[in-house]
Structure 1
Amino acid sequence: MSKTRIGFIGVGGIAQRHLGVLEQFPDVSLVAFADPDFDRAVDAAARFGARAFADHTGMLEAADLDAVYICVPPFAHGAPEQAVIARNLPFFVEKPLSLDINLAEELARAVDAAGLVTAVGYHWRYLDIVEEARRRLADRPAQLLSGYWLDQTPPPQWWWRADRSGGQMVEQATHIIDLARYLAGEVTQVFGLAGHMAREGFPGLDVATASTASLRFASGAIGNLGATCLLGWGHRVGLHVFADGLALELSDHDIMIDVGAGRPVMHAQGDPVWAEDRDFIDAVRGEANRIRSPYGEALKTHRVALAIATSAREGRAIDMAEDN
């Protein structure tokens, strides 16, 4: 069996999650790693008998690759994708796509023009409990959605700065926005609010420490999101969905289905990251393309997340048609 040769741009935490999956695939060979923290690239290369590079340019010039994983912080997107597209290589990229919507739109056009296989890390779409929610909502569509990302402040200091991470709605709650789109359809209008509290122990933190957003969907459904990074623990991350005679509570590990006869809970089975990585590799290998979030689809979610941030900053509702 020929193996699909994979290179990684960025070898941080989320890359390690994918590596733990990809090393299980007998048809994958992990051959090259690039990271500005060269020691991190060296460690990953030693683990897999691969080559280490200090930047993506050197890796793309020297390594024989079939596809690339791009796992970089929000502010670092752009140059890696452009270089990968220029070499006509399929790529998997972690969210958020970019802090610059114009750049993300440019990359989407380039992907389309090249006809590349792409995937974006919205792994909630691969949860079996999300498929159960879609089945339940098929004949009685969502009318009200309430999402939450109530959590602690991540340790990387780039996350603390809006010009580096985009803030919590863009960097974290984007998963909930994508789930809402997956279950209820396209968003047509957003209105965001944001508050900030200075915090001892987090010097330079300028992202909103509390955020909310109201959403209107093309279907007529309405929704709201709440996010905070003020806690020292993960309190609640998920989406509640209400339809005619139906209430659903979704997290990334279970679903509660309430039809007025108790509150039974179904636990998720399987690993959604394994599933999204398997679909990407299969598509790269020319097998059936079952990718649930290619670049163009992920861009629709990203537009909403950035619009929420813009709305909060400018104090006005934003019609999504303005940006399309």
Structure 2
Amino acid sequence: MSSRRPSERRGSDRRGSGAASRRPSIDPSRLIPMDRVTHVGGSDDFNVVFIGAGNIMFGSDEGPWNHSFRFEHKLGRRLKVVALIDPAIERATAVLQKKCDSFVVSAYQDTRVFKTFEDFVRNMAPRDRPRAIIVGSPPMYRGSTQPGRDIELQILKYFPGVAIFLEKPVATGPEEEIQEAFKIAQMINDSKTICSVGYMLRYLKAVQMMKQIIDENNLTVMSTIARYACAYQAISKPEWWDKAKSAGPIIEQGTHFCDLSRYFGGEVDIASVQAHSLEWDENAGQLSKMAVDESKIPPERRIPRVTAATWKYDSGAVGSFTHVVALQGSNYSCEFEVYADGYSLKLVNPYVQPVLYIRKPGDDNETTVRFADDDPFFSEVSNLIDIIEDIEEEPEAAQILSSYDDAVRTYEFTWAIRKASERSREAKLKASADAAAALKAGV
């Protein structure tokens, strides 16, 4: 059984407050595959509430996400899901039945389904008080202080001190509500609530190896370059193609690479962000294999096909990101590069089979490192549980790598890219209109 004692670093560093001069990191050798991890010791129940019964919580054929699966492996028979909250009662009941028909029945046999969080609070027995609340509901219902979209505030109100895990992005609400998300971040920090946000790419072994190289060689990042090309043919949710619902591909999908950029480059000078977009109504923006009928989406709400952005970091370094909606089939194409004096670190295919290419001073050739068995989804859950349980033989072991405050800064950054691209499009349209008017007037 693992020892349990108060950690020497129980404060903001391990909880990932985001305030440290160097962003939190983990020795990559400590990121152990799920099948090699021993269940957390003990016989006491570990109560968990799941908010959301969709793909992110229970898995799908579209990707590797499945939080319930990771919690089951981390906690073993100690896991007790006391409530599953989702307004789609039938869907929640169906996924719950599948769990009860499987070998993890002990975690779900007493789970109750509720339509709303308030229903759970009203009907909760004292023995069902959770130790962690996992929020996998759509981002449009969180990150705000507005009723119905303020799940974080409801958790802080009814379950002070209970750890929170939220999926990314923290919100997809209107731009003017970003400051509300910062207020929530401050409340979470002030309450000293353990809170982790699901930017799982930070937990990749490859990413932590990159951090290790930078830290051990005392390097200063000069530039980050990110590229994300999605396979749009497999994206069949109409909401994703509607900026009014998803907030657009930079905010909803590209957020992971914007977050990685901040993780390595530091804080972004928001005023420096510039961007251009290729829109749906331009000749090069025509797509032939869309799975949705875009004609049902108002023209002003249709997403761009390409967004290319550049910016300055507060450190003086330069960053860039290009998001492309162009590939067909099912495989995405993603790369992330970091440059420092004498060093090039290039991460390829981080979502499936990560490969890291390393070039160091004194050698023009790249070293290739492959990471076949890495599971960052499990690593973020494992680290969260270790911090909740305070199980540490060495306090350096577990770290929350993405705090709520940090995630809000990424959210603010993605909005800055979207707005910059929209401004450049508006300027181009105005220039075209002015030129047409001048031509018509005979000027």
Q: Does the alignment reach a TM-score above 0.5?
A: yes
Query: Are 2:212 and 1:140 aligned?
Result: no
How far apart in 2 are the matches of 1:117 and 1:235?
A: 33
Q: Which residue of 2 aligns with 1:294?
A: 403
Secondary structure at the aligned position of 1:227 is classed as: strand
Secondary structure at the aligned position of 1:208 is classed as: coil
Secondary structure at the aligned position of 2:221 is classed as: coil
Q: Which residue of 2 aligns with 1:85?
A: 156
How far apart in 1 are the matches of 2:237 and 2:117?
A: 22
Are the counterparts in 2 of residues 247 and 257 from structure 1 also a CA contact under 8 Å? Answer: yes
**Deviation for aligned residue 1:134:** 1.3
- How is 1:68-217 mapped onto 2 (pairs within 5 angstroms)? 68-77=133-142, 78-87=149-158, 88=160, 89-99=162-172, 100-138=177-215, 139-153=218-232, 154-188=235-269, 189-197=272-280, 199=287, 201-203=292-294, 204=297, 206-217=302-313
Are the counterparts in 2 of residues 195 and 209 from structure 1 also a CA contact under 8 Å? Answer: yes
Q: Which residue of 2 aligns with 1:21?
A: 70
Residue 8 (structure 1) aligned to one of 50, 53, 56: 50
- TM-score for the superposition, normalised by structure 1: 0.90
Residues 109 and 61 of structure 1: is their aligned pair in 2 closer, same or farther, counting only changes over 3 Å?
A: farther
How far apart in 2 are the matches of 1:2 and 1:105?
A: 36
Are the counterparts in 1 of residues 280 and 303 from structure 2 also a CA contact under 8 Å? Answer: no
- TM-score for the superposition, normalised by structure 2: 0.67
How far apart in 2 are the matches of 1:283 and 1:202?
A: 46
Structure 1, gaps ≥5 residues long: 317-324
Larger RCO: 1 or 2 (CA < 8 Å, sep 6+): 2
Q: Which residue of 2 aligns with 1:321?
A: none
Counterpart amino acid of residue 207 in structure 1: I
Are the counterparts in 2 of residues 176 and 238 from structure 1 also a CA contact under 8 Å? Answer: no
**Deviation for aligned residue 1:301:** 1.6
| Count of aligned pairs between the two proteins | 316
Structure 2, gaps ≥5 residues long: 1-42, 59-65, 100-107, 143-148, 282-286, 393-397, 426-443
**Deviation for aligned residue 1:183:** 1.5
**Deviation for aligned residue 1:97:** 0.6
**Deviation for aligned residue 1:231:** 2.0
Secondary structure at the aligned position of 1:144 is classed as: strand
Percent same amino acid at aligned positions?
Answer: 24
Q: Which residue of 2 aligns with 1:320?
A: none
Q: Which residue of 1 aligns with 2:368?
A: 265
Secondary structure at the aligned position of 2:153 is classed as: helix
Q: Which residue of 1 aligns with 2:357?
A: 256
Once the two structures are superposed, residues 134-175 of structure 1 have per-residue CA deviations (whole angstroms, 9 ceiling, x without a partner) of 122233322122101100232222211112111111111111
**Deviation for aligned residue 1:286:** 4.1
Are the counterparts in 2 of residues 168 and 228 from structure 1 also a CA contact under 8 Å? Answer: no
Q: Which residue of 2 aligns with 1:276?
A: 380
How far apart in 1 are the matches of 2:344 and 2:418?
A: 29
Q: Which residue of 2 aligns with 1:230?
A: 326
Structural RMSD (CA) = 2.1
Residue 344 (structure 2) aligned to one of 244, 247, 250: 247
Deviates more, 1:43-52 or 1:15-24: 43-52
Query: Are 2:57 and 1:57 aligned?
Result: no
Once the two structures are superposed, residues 15-67 of structure 1 have per-residue CA deviations (whole angstroms, 9 ceiling, x without a partner) of 12111111112243222111122122112333122111222221233342222
